[in-house]
Structure 1
Amino acid sequence: MQKFIKIALLSTVAALSIGAAQAQENVVWWDFLSGGDGVRMKALIEQFNTEHEGEITIQPTTLEWGTPFYTKVQTSAAIGEGPDVMTYHLSRVPLGVESGALAEISTEDLAGVGLSADTFAAANWEAGQSDGKQYAVPFDIHSIILYYNKDKLAEAGLLGEDGKPTGLDGAENFMAALEKLKAVSDTPLSLQTSGDGTPWRVFYSLLGQQDGVFLGEDGTFFPDETIPKAVKAVETMASWVEGGYAPALTEYENSVALFTSGESALHMNGVWEVPTMTDLAAKGELGFEWGAIAIPTFFDHPATWADSHGFAIPNNVGKEMTPEKKAAVLEVISWFNENSLAWADAGHIPAYSPTRESEEFKTKEPNATYSILADTAVFDPKSPLAGVASPVYDAVANYISPAMNGEMTAQEAIDEMKADLQDQAD
């Protein structure tokens, strides 16, 4: 009898244990975040898991950024082996939809966790769509900005009483400022002048400031009326190198080192290098006071290239997500947006409007200074050929970067880039 009671009790405990295990949802997570981004994201994941102990646990894996990540997403989703949720560049949504790798996220699903178009900047929200359907939820807005060495700008008479640069707006004024900085710096401006990333982001910003159209509604790259504007953008970038203000054939890492070493007075790069500057300054290893602002308005009006890290759900073929799992995934997406102030420590601008408009963010520097980018952002053209690690980036490396370094004319670069991309599109 006692043995029977003991077995019964053990069975009850086992049943309760199984029930508890079933009550907790394990969410498989993939991201591509390393460096300062990765450190800060890992801290957020730990916070989420602590707050949701016994309910939801994120099981994270970090994969290689760029082409390897998106290739793995496509192949894994096709056989039902993708994660439950993943970070995703909104610029790659067109490719993800075309390849069938992304699941649609319904308006009803998002409304259930308090998310909608009204909680994000319009352009940011639309960047996660294809044909009016939502396939990704924005998490941030990241753009290029202008880092500056306050000591060198002050010495050149280019620092205002508020500690911010003056006299940089307008292509001619910017060149004049670089000339002044030549007297106090061997390298007035550092930026990546070899490869694809920064050259694309600067070019697309300068094109946007002229209302240039990179990809027309009819699928034409660089419509005729845009070609002179595109040429002007490349010529402006090339003038920085030709004038001896920015070093030629500079790789990304070297461009950052030129600024952090104190050699360059200005540095054009993404907001994601803010943690680099912050951490070096905290260690006493920077050697100068720094700041960051939105890149200058060189032409008609403010416009700056932007992309977003967002959250997407893979379309795992043959593996339908349970209602409980979907609820857990949506809670993850909502929680991270509601707690995105901490993500701003990585330099990013929160996509979630309540966070971006909060007093806490408005006093967070340097983010608050360049947060206007949320309103002036020009997101990558919607095309499977565009976005991070895409054929557009390859074309930039093949044509715009060589033009920056005097290896071909700006006109030749745009003509050849147009022909190359049009051939791939057709």
Structure 2
Amino acid sequence: MTSLDRHISRRRLLSGAAALAGGGMLFGCAPGASRSTSNLDYWHLMTGGDGIVMAGLVDAVSAANLGFHATQTVLAWGPPYYTKLAMASAGGRAPDVAIMHASRIAGYAPGGLLEPWDLDLLAEVGLKESDFPPLVWQKGMYDGKLYSIALDTHPFVLYYNTEHATKAGVTDALQTMKSPEQFTEVATKMQEVTGKHGVSYGYLGDGSQMWRLFYTFYRQLGAEMKLVPGQKAQVDEDAAVKALSFVQSLLDDKIASRSGDGGTATSEFLHGESGLFFGGVWELPVLKDAKMPVDARPIPTLFGTDAAYADSHTFVLPRQSKASPERRKHVYQLVAEILKRSVKWAGAGHIPAYQPVVRSPEYQELKPQSNYAGIPAYVNYDPDVWFGGAGSDFHKYFAENVQNVYLGSGDPAAGFEGFVKRLNVLLDRPQPV
């Protein structure tokens, strides 16, 4: 029995895993221990265009005659994926390697659902801390150990229609604006060109979209949000009200639709009915496929402090009851080879975490991707807490309290207060694992 098994009972792991994943059932288990040491099991949640790119990367590595082959299992994004991964890890029958959002590490590493990476083995395959942006590397740390290795950073950015910008005379202003008033002025001039809206921003029914823009501005105000189980949420209410009030001012049915959802916002921007678009870098393939005159940049620093919301896809080692040393070494090789080829991943809009790729001429020639490559230097992830992160209910709690603010019928102070009260209820509960 390992030290991990001695300290964490199977019952405790299973109950904690179910709570962390948001409930749900496990439909099948991970691969058995009898698999060949050269056949690796890799779970991820990449679908659509991302899935095609990831499959190509894995196939290329498998075909490189490195002594192993990786078999991919693609699961549904969100709770279904994290439920199955947590349960497989709790049972010690997890895949050799898996993708996890950086924002979920705080819920999985503390309870033993993940195993730390060996820095010496990473060095053997050519990976070291200095190859990654400091904030991105640090996000994978827990209790002094590295639990995740980032593949990318995928931030919320500002897209703009270059033809509309030229007609509106705001091309230079788009690069220099430094205040909410300047942004509003640029958006208003864009609206005068389009005749419909200046900005497309879809948020209705989507807590993640609401949170991404709010948290960007909240952090630009120099505000922090610390969520420590057993303590009250540490927040800056004044900054929150200021950020929410600014978003509310944009959603006036002139600068931006007061009630747009993700699909209508994207469609509006694609059809030239707005000049600006708040969206994730994952939207880039759709915009480029449409052959529209588009560029992108980080969301401007409007409140004094450089800050951008983002998450990262990361590689993790789910807990296994028996891990073959030979298979484990092959996993390190697989991850290293994918990272070294990640300029292909950048084609989907993501910023590669592996800096030798970012510095390469091939990446620097990618436009508009290289225009926002500096974001990892000031990236802001979700607060570290067991109930937060991608695919969790954290963003849903934000939406429940703040959506009426965005719609124009709610008070920013009251909305944020309701969100904080919900957080305090969760923080008062014991961490499941």
Q: TM-score range by the shorter chain?
A: 0.7 to 0.9
Q: Decide which of 300, 311, 315 is 2:315's aligned counterpart.
A: 311
Q: Would you say 1:50 and 2:59 are equivalent positions?
A: no
Show the counterpart of 2:185: 176
Q: Decide which of 148, 161, 176 is 1:149's aligned counterpart.
A: 161
Check the 8 A contact 2:237/2:416 in 1, yes or no. Answer: yes
Q: Alpha-carbon deviations, 1:37-95, whole Å to 9, x = none?
A: 11211111121122137x21110111111111111101112223321111110110011
Q: Which runs of 5+ in 1 are unaligned?
A: 1-20, 282-287
Show the counterpart of 1:113: 125
Check the 8 A contact 1:213/1:222 in 2, yes or no. Answer: no
Aligned-residue sequence identity (percent) comes to 28
Q: Would you say 1:86 and 2:98 are equivalent positions?
A: yes
Q: Which amino acid aligns with 2:215?
A: Y
Check the 8 A contact 2:37/2:324 in 1, yes or no. Answer: no
Tell me the SS of whatever aligns to 1:182: helix
Show the counterpart of 2:208: 197
Q: Decide which of 34, 40, 46 is 1:27's aligned counterpart.
A: 40
Show the counterpart of 2:72: 60
1:423–1:369 Cα change, 3 Å: same
Distance 1:196 1:221 in 2: 22
Where do residues 229-378 of structure 1 align in structure 2 (5 Å cutoff)? 229-242=239-252, 244-281=254-291, 288-316=292-320, 318=321, 320-378=322-380
Q: Which runs of 5+ in 2 are unaligned?
A: 1-33, 429-433
1:243: how far off? 5.7
| Structural RMSD (CA) | 2.0
Q: Which amino acid aligns with 2:183?
A: F
Q: Alpha-carbon deviations, 1:104-162, whole Å to 9, x = none?
A: 112222222222221111110011111221111111111011111111111111124xx
1:165: how far off? 3.0
Show the counterpart of 1:6: none
1:166: how far off? 4.3
Q: Alpha-carbon deviations, 1:299-349, whole Å to 9, x = none?
A: 012210121111011102x3x111110011010111111111111101111
Q: Would you say 1:210 and 2:221 are equivalent positions?
A: yes
Show the counterpart of 2:8: none
Distance 1:321 1:22 in 2: 11
- TM-score normalized by the length of structure 1: 0.88
**Structure number with bigger Rg:** 1
Check the 8 A contact 1:167/1:177 in 2, yes or no. Answer: no
Show the counterpart of 1:134: 146
Distance 1:219 1:205 in 2: 26
1:52–1:400 Cα change, 3 Å: farther
Check the 8 A contact 2:62/2:69 in 1, yes or no. Answer: yes
1:221–1:270 Cα change, 3 Å: farther
Tell me the SS of whatever aligns to 2:408: coil
Tell me the SS of whatever aligns to 1:268: strand
Tell me the SS of whatever aligns to 1:264: coil
Distance 1:219 1:293 in 2: 39
Distance 2:384 2:346 in 1: 26
